[in-house]
Amino acid sequence: MVSPDLERPSAFAELSRDQLAILVPELLLTGHLIDRSGMAHTIGAFGREGMTAVAIEEWRVASPVYTRRMQRALGFTGDGVETIFKGLQLDIGAPPQFMDFRYRVDDHDHGAFWLDHCGALADVEPLGEDYVRSMCHDIEDPTFDATALATNPHAQVRPIHRPPRVPADRHPVCSWTVTIDASHTPPPVPANFDRVAESYAARVLLDPIDPGDDGQSDYAGPLLSDLRFSDFSRSALIRMADEVCLQQHLLALGFLIAIGGRTDAAAAATIGRKQFAGIAGLTSERLRHALGLGTDAAALAQVLRLHPAWNPLRYSGVHIQHEDIGVRLRLPKRSGAVADGVWPSLIDADHLESLEAMARGVNPRFAAHVVDDNDDEFAIVFLLGDKPFREAGEVAITRFSTGADFRFTDRGIPLPLTVV
């Protein structure tokens, strides 16, 4: 039985508008890096072709669900290429600047995009042409279409050119057309899509954006060359942050479903925990740096409250308290997240690696100690030890990505992309 607290405020409501404008692109980027954390372990279990199949399945079942959520939240629910492009700008699959999508809208049914920089390609090119083809051909073809289909079932995304790059420094790195045509036959609904679409993550209710708040309250206007998050209202940014966290849970759910269909439950849980530990630690580190926090217990408490693993709070039900002794985390055993079987469900007294990786992204001296484990909740306290712990291997693997050290820049006033 799941009884979410529908009155519980967003954890992001404690932040200022300026802080939220910094945080939202960070959350989009860390959501993208989930695959950097999980796919290395997937390759180890199933090989490159198995990894490719898992990636296709997870994105195909997750992206249409969270794309429609964001469209409804930000008020851009059209059915043309402009709406598709707006969705990509708020998608963990295309975090700003790291995946530097550029757009052109020709008319309602025709447009194009290209990447001036592709952080994912920078991560994969050193692995060789086979991995590049797996990502830029095998994975992108069905998953780009899946994202577009969330807006219009007759949309197709097709390459003009894409890697492997010839010559090796070809720029832009890839280019694609988007065409909507009633003659296009939509692909069949992928297996397990209903399981994701009917999950608690897909259905969780969040507070609407306050249209009277200072700043832009929706994205109903023209498509912009870039989203300048500081232009949005505080209320809109809070909703964006919670929606981006749900994107991460939905992608993790798709990943765990895909893994679970290829191995036994114990092995799937092991891979899921490794994925969780890798992204948990790197995300904490980036959040701490982005918000200019310290390394003490107060900083850990704030990072934990804002960590996408625990948000939205109505989904995870987690409680985090900064106490004299340390930082206490109370995780209910009945919540939407636990019922869905995503990251919080993978934690127990014998599996604290993800929690410790999360805390050590703030300070490598933190350790997790179980203080309660009953029918209702699991509780741990983070305490500082005398010496730093070695970085977890799962975090080190995720740090392989160029996204680990990526820094956003101010690009100034964005331009509207209008039809000529």
Rounded Cα distance, 41 and 347, in Å = 18
Q: Reduced to 3 states, what is the DSSP secondary structure of residue 216?
A: strand
For residues 339 and 361, state if they share a domain: yes
Please indicate, yes or no, if residue 258 is contained in any of the structural domains. Answer: no
Contact present, 247 and 62 (Cβ < 8 Å): yes
Last residue of a domain, one of 231, 251, 271: 251
The pLDDT of residue 223 is above 70: yes
Report the pLDDT averaged over residues 339-352.
Answer: 98
The pLDDT of residue 339 is above 70: yes
The pLDDT of residue 1 is above 60: no
The pLDDT of residue 3 is above 70: no
For residues 171 and 37, state if they share a domain: yes
Please indicate, yes or no, if residue 419 is contained in any of the structural domains. Answer: no
Which residue in 380, 364, 281 sits closest to 326, CA to CA? 380
Please indicate, yes or no, if residue 417 is contained in any of the structural domains. Answer: no
Helices 297-306 and 353-360: crossing angle, nearest 10°? 120
Please indicate, yes or no, if residue 242 is contained in any of the structural domains. Answer: yes
Question: Tokens 């939509």 appear where?
Answer: 186
Contact present, 362 and 273 (Cβ < 8 Å): no
Please indicate, yes or no, if residue 42 is contained in any of the structural domains. Answer: yes
For residues 34 and 126, state if they share a domain: yes
pLDDT of residue 7: 76
Please indicate, yes or no, if residue 49 is contained in any of the structural domains. Answer: yes
Please indicate, yes or no, if residue 323 is contained in any of the structural domains. Answer: yes
For residues 336 and 242, state if they share a domain: no
Contact present, 336 and 200 (Cβ < 8 Å): yes
Contact present, 386 and 270 (Cβ < 8 Å): no
Question: How many Cβ atoms are within 10 Å of 75's Cβ, its own excluded?
Answer: 14
For residues 60 and 161, state if they share a domain: yes
> Which spans in 217-352 are helix H?
234-260, 265-290, 297-306, 313-316, 336-340
Q: What is the pLDDT of residues 110-158, one digit of tens each?
A: 999 999 999 999 999 999 999 999 999 999 999 999 999 999 999 999 9
For residues 290 and 349, state if they share a domain: yes
Burial of 238 (0-12, 13-18, 19+ CB in 10 A): buried
pLDDT of residue 5: 62
Instruction: Assess whether the previous peptide bond of 167 is cis (omega < 30° from 0).
Output: yes
Number of separate domains in the chain: 2
Rounded Cα distance, 39 and 32, in Å = 12
Last residue of a domain, one of 251, 273, 291: 251
The pLDDT of residue 420 is above 90: no
Tokens coding 381 = 């306290």
For residues 47 and 122, state if they share a domain: yes
Rounded Cα distance, 410 and 21, in Å = 11
For residues 34 and 123, state if they share a domain: yes
> In terms of residue numbers, what domain contains 396?
263-404
pLDDT of residue 419: 61
For residues 155 and 247, state if they share a domain: yes
Q: What is the pLDDT of residues 282-304, one digit of tens each?
A: 999 999 999 999 999 999 999 99
Q: What is the pLDDT of residues 7-55, one digit of tens each?
A: 789 999 999 999 999 999 999 999 999 999 999 999 999 999 999 999 9
pLDDT band per the 50, 70, 90 thresholds, residue 77: confident
Report the pLDDT averaged over residues 250-254.
Answer: 98
For residues 245 and 283, state if they share a domain: no
Question: Tokens 């707006």 appear where?
Answer: 86
Residue 171 neighbours by CB under 8 Å, 6+ apart: 116
Please indicate, yes or no, if residue 7 is contained in any of the structural domains. Answer: no
The pLDDT of residue 97 is above 60: yes
Give φ, ψ of 159 to 5 degrees: -75, 140
For residues 317 and 203, state if they share a domain: no
Contact present, 201 and 340 (Cβ < 8 Å): yes
Last residue of a domain, one of 230, 251, 272: 251
Average pLDDT, the chain: 96
The pTM (predicted TM-score) of the whole model is 0.97
For residues 391 and 361, state if they share a domain: yes
Q: What is the pLDDT of residues 268-280, one digit of tens each?
A: 999 999 999 999 9
Give long-range contacts, CB 8 A cutoff, 24+ apart: 354-357.
Answer: 354/273, 354/276, 354/277, 354/280, 354/309, 355/280, 355/329, 355/380, 355/382, 356/389, 356/392, 357/277, 357/278, 357/280, 357/281, 357/284, 357/392, 357/394, 357/395
Report the pLDDT averaged over residues 221-236.
Answer: 97
Going by DSSP bridges, is the β-strand pair 110-118/99-107 parallel, antiparallel, or unpaired?
Answer: antiparallel
Question: How many Cβ atoms are within 10 Å of 120's Cβ, its own excluded?
Answer: 25
